[in-house]
Amino acid sequence: MSEQIWHAFYFDHAAAEAPCRSEVIEAKTEEDAARVARDHLGPCERVSLEAASWTDRRHRVIIAEKVDIHRSTVH
């Protein structure tokens, strides 16, 4: 199976309208792309993961749950 292109848009706040950064992720499955996006979440509270425009247009939102001021977890 070849890798697919996914676009990850990271947001500072869960309710933010514009992303603070973005990246292109190459992954075999949506779950693999979501794992990479979670690992790259950093201080951001939300990441929007979208398939490339020329593929099946899936869209997934991942929200971080703040545990303390220096660490976030994702469920």
Q: Which residue is listed with tokens 């693999």? A: 32
The angle formed by the CA atoms of residues 12, 16 and 22, to the nearest 5 degrees, is 55
Confidence bin at 74 (pLDDT 50/70/90): very low
| Residue 4 identity (one-letter amino acid) | Q
Half-sphere exposure of 14 (CA within 13 A, CB side): 7
Q: Which residue is listed with tokens 């899936």? A: 58
Joined tokens for residue 36: 């990479």
pLDDT tens digits, 18-58: 999 999 999 998 899 999 999 999 999 999 998 877 766 66
Do strands 4-11 and 21-27 pair parallel, antiparallel, or not at all (unpaired)?
antiparallel
pTM for this prediction: 0.72
